Structure formats: structure tokens, C-alpha cells
């Protein structure tokens, strides 16, 4: 169940690299009046580049890099999200490390997937991991299966859990699928750029 809060759709690209003091950001408004913000100048559509303005967004302090917004009073978690080419992206922690860029995909029916590069950075050896076949839009492909100790979204912590080592999303570090998302009712506040997760 997803409840969308009415409001202006703001596409906000969140600075994710912990320890950085600030990041260059760019803001522009499209012909529909929607506000877009990104850290990557190349993501600005060419027809809007002359309208884009440069802004500075403070980066998170190191100890806040995996912290959520204030805990939802109903017992869930609230996290900021960005919209990147119509995909919702949030910060998340894996094995208490991060933050990592995780796409929220309610259409991803199975096991959540993490980039093999991220898993290797976490010290997870994939050499002997079992391989399974998975069906995608382009047909059947393969992915390795491994375990992570935890996945944390704001204050919501899950694990140990199985994940796919799958790297077909170069802009993101992983995809959260039904095995994670079906644990929660998701409430999306587009105006504020906040995703609320309430345990089912």
C-alpha cells in the first residue's frame, strides 16, 4: 500500500559521501513548474541548462551519515529521498557501513540486489557464492546470492538477509525489492521529499 501526499514534486539529489563539508548543487524549474535539484550538471536537460542556478548544499556530518529524520511516532522511520529519472533513491546502510544509494523499486518482486562492488568493499567474498538465474526486462540473466548482516533504512533495521550480487544499475549501489518493502506501508510526501516506512 502506498499513500502519496499531494504537493509539488521536487527532485532532490542528496549528497551521500560522508565526511564532505559541502557539495555543488544545481537547481532548475521545468515548463510544468516542477523544481529539480541535482549534484550532477550533466543530469540537467540541455534545454534547461541556461536556467539552472548553482547552490551549495551542506553535506552530512560523519556521525549523521546513516541517521534518519526524526522517528515517526507510529514506530516507523522517515528518510529523505531524491527522484532521479523517475526513480526514488534513498540513503541506506549495509552491515553498518554507508550511506549507500539505494533505489526503492516497488515493482522489484524478489530479493533485494546490491552491487558486487559494494559487497566486495564490505569484505564479502563472492568467489564461491552460488549463482542463480533471474528474469529481467531484457531476458534471463544470472546473479550471485550472498548474505548481509543487516540493511538499515533510517531507524528500520533488517537482517541477516539474503541479497543478490547484481550490478546493472551504475548510478546506484543497490535496489530494495519486495523482501524489504513488503515489511512496511510506504507513505510518500513528494512536497517535502520524505518517505515514511510504517511496519505492517
Domain ranges of the chain: 63-179
CATH no. of 63-179: 2.40.70.10
Rg over alpha carbons for the chain, rounded to the nearest Å, is: 17
pTM of the model: 0.63
CA angle 195, 29, 54 (to 5 degrees): 90
How many beta carbons lie within 10 A of that of residue 113, not counting itself?
25
**Cell numbers given for 79:** 528518510
The predicted structure's pLDDT at residue 167: 78
Bridging pattern class, strands 161-165 and 113-114: parallel
The lowest-confidence range among 31-40, 56-65, 134-143, 187-196 is 56-65
Contact yes or no for 143/136 (Cβ under 8 A)? no
User: Is the C-alpha dihedral spanning 121, 124, 128, 131 positive or negative?
Assistant: negative
CA angle 69, 183, 116 (to 5 degrees): 80
Alpha-carbon dihedral angle through residues 76, 82, 86, 89, given to the nearest 10 degrees: -60
- DSSP-based three-state secondary structure for 70: coil
Mean pLDDT of the chain: 75
The predicted structure's pLDDT at residue 39: 64
Amino acid at each position: 500500500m502506498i499513500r502519496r501526499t499531494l504537493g509539488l514534486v521536487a527532485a532532490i539529489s542528496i549528497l551521500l559521501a560522508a565526511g564532505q563539508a559541502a557539495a555543488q548543487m544545481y537547481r532548475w524549474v521545468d515548463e510544468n513548474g516542477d523544481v529539480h535539484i541535482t549534484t550532477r550538471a550533466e543530469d540537467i536537460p540541455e534545454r534547461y541548462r541556461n536556467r539552472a542556478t548553482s547552490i551549495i548544499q551542506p553535506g552530512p556530518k560523519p556521525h549523521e551519515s546513516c541517521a534518519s529524520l526524526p522517528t515517526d511516532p507510529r514506530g516507523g522511520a522517515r528518510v529523505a529521498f531524491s527522484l532521479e529519472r523517475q526513480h526514488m533513491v534513498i540513503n541506506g546502510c549495509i552491515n553498518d557501513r554507508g550511506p549507500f544509494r539505494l533505489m526503492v523499486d516497488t515493482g522489484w518482486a524478489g530479493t533485494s540486489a546490491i552491487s558486487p562492488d559494494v559487497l566486495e568493499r564490505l569484505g564479502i567474498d563472492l568467489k564461491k557464492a552460488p549463482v542463480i538465474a533471474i528474469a529481467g526486462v531484457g531476458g534471463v540473466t544470472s546473479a550471485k546470492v550472498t548474505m548481509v548482516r543487516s540493511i538499515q533504512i533510517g531507524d528500520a533495521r533488517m537482517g541477516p538477509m539474503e541479497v543478490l550480487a547484481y550490478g546493472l544499475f551504475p548510478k546506484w549501489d543497490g535496489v530494495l525489492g519486495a523482501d524489504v518493502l513488503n515489511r512496511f506501508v510506504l507513505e510518500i510526501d513528494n512536497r517535502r521529499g520524505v518517505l515514511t516506512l510504517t511496519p505492517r
